[in-house]
Amino acid sequence: MRNVAVLMPSTVRPFELAVYCEVFGVDRSGHGVPPFEFAICSERPGVPVPTDGGLHVTPTAGLDRLAEADLVAVAPPASPTSGVSSAVAAALHAAIDRRSRVVAVSSAAFLLASAGLLSGRTVAAPSHLPGWFPDVRVDPTVLYVDDDPIFTSAGTAAGIDLCLHLIRKDHGAAAASAVARGMLVGPHRTPAELVDTPRRHDDGIDKLLDWALGNLHEDLSIDILARRAFLSTRSFARRFRAATGTTPYAWVLEQRVRRAQELLETDPSMGVEEAAGRAGFSSAALLRQHFQRRFGCSPSEYRSRFAPSSRG
């Protein structure tokens, strides 16, 4: 993924458009992130597109620019729509046919559904989408869905998580972390975490998360974490989910996988067994199991792809 084209509809929501621009349009090559060829496109290049915030954005490229893209990022319209032009629908289908990826943040999923790209799929999107498109299922428990080559996010902020996931998937955890730092994204937000309840700030849980990140090699069972927070297990589990949107087990597992990713990327000489131990896995076999499930490859294969010595 090195070439990104943003597709703007006839109106656009500015925040989601800005997410694409910030993640893929800013040159962070000095921080180890590969630069992307980046363009904003529409069916009518050169014509200002109104936003729901009173701004106008003028795209410089037409639909033909999508043919060059590895990733077509669809910006959501100011209001959901159940219609799409034949030219836009054809351009999106052509992108899928040539094995490009298509990402839709929040209500941009309505545009993909209108183009017939989501039939029979499960997506992350606004909950009322199936009312317009009954053959599409929305999973309300996740921030985003990776159904490669189509990626969808549940909402605006989840679009950031999804874009960072795309960076991580193709360019590794270190590159995704560099982009996150540049955007000042909070350190405890995890991809694919559950969102059954709204998240809220909790000083006690936040301090515990900071401690846990520095001690991933320790026993971080829910009983240990609850005692450290001076809470009963039941109260701790309730407050943890309210603060983070996920369970202690899922959060710890995500952080351990990320730590293993970073270790394998930054120290090519480190053995898989050592990386597993430092990340908090009881064995290399367990690390391999989670890597195979998450990335479709072994830790060694992951390192050969993303370690500096293998990038050239």
Q: Which of 42-46, 85-89, 126-130, 183-187 is least confident?
A: 183-187
Crossing angle, helix 284-295 and helix 299-306, to 10 degrees? 60
- Please determine, for residue 115, whether its predicted confidence score (pLDDT) is greater than 60: yes
Q: 146: which strand partners?
A: 151
Question: What's the rounded Cα separation, in Å, for the pair 244 and 188?
Answer: 8
pLDDT of residue 202: 77
Average pLDDT, the chain: 88
Q: How far is CA 111 from CA 6, 21, 105, 203, 217, in A?
A: 13, 20, 10, 40, 45
Dist. CA 292–CA 258, nearest whole Å? 14
29-33, 172-176, 182-186: least confident range: 182-186
Question: pLDDT value at position 265?
Answer: 82
Q: If you average pLDDT over residues 153-172, what whole number do you get? A: 88
pLDDT-derived band at 174, boundaries 50, 70, 90: confident
Per the CB < 8 A criterion, the answer to whether 120 and 183 are in contact is no
How many percent of the chain have pLDDT more than 70? 92
Residue 95 has pLDDT above 60, yes or no: yes
Give dist(CA 270, CA 290) in Å, integer.
18
Q: Does residue 268 have a pLDDT over 90?
A: no
Q: Give the mean model confidence (pLDDT) for residues 24-48.
A: 93
In the predicted model, what is the mean pLDDT of residues 197-214? 78
**pLDDT for the residue numbered 50:** 93
pLDDT at 14: 92
User: Strands, DSSP E only, in the chain?
Assistant: 3-7, 37-41, 49-50, 56-57, 71-74, 101-104, 122-123, 137-138, 144-147, 150-153
More confident residue, 218 or 174: 218
Q: In this structure, what token pair is assigned to residue 83?
A: 């219609």
- pLDDT given for residue 201 in this prediction: 65
**Comparing 106-120, 214-228, 283-297, which segment has the lowest mean pLDDT?**
283-297
Tokens 């909790």 belong to residue = 202
**Residue-wise over 207-234: b if at least 16 C-beta within 10 A, else e?**
ebbeebeeebeeebebeebbebbebeee
- What pTM, to 2 d.p., does this model score? 0.70
Structure tokens at 283: 């064995």
Mean pLDDT of the region 150-158: 89
pLDDT at 60 over 80: yes
Q: Can you tell me the mean pLDDT for 157-183?
A: 87
Q: How confident is the model at residue 198 (pLDDT cuts 50, 70, 90)?
A: very low
Q: What is the pLDDT of residue 58?
A: 95
Domains along the sequence of the chain with CATH? 3-177 (3.40.50.880), 187-312 (1.10.10.60)
Give yes or no for a contact between 75 and 17, defined as CB atoms under 8 angstroms apart: yes
Write down the pLDDT at residue 260.
92
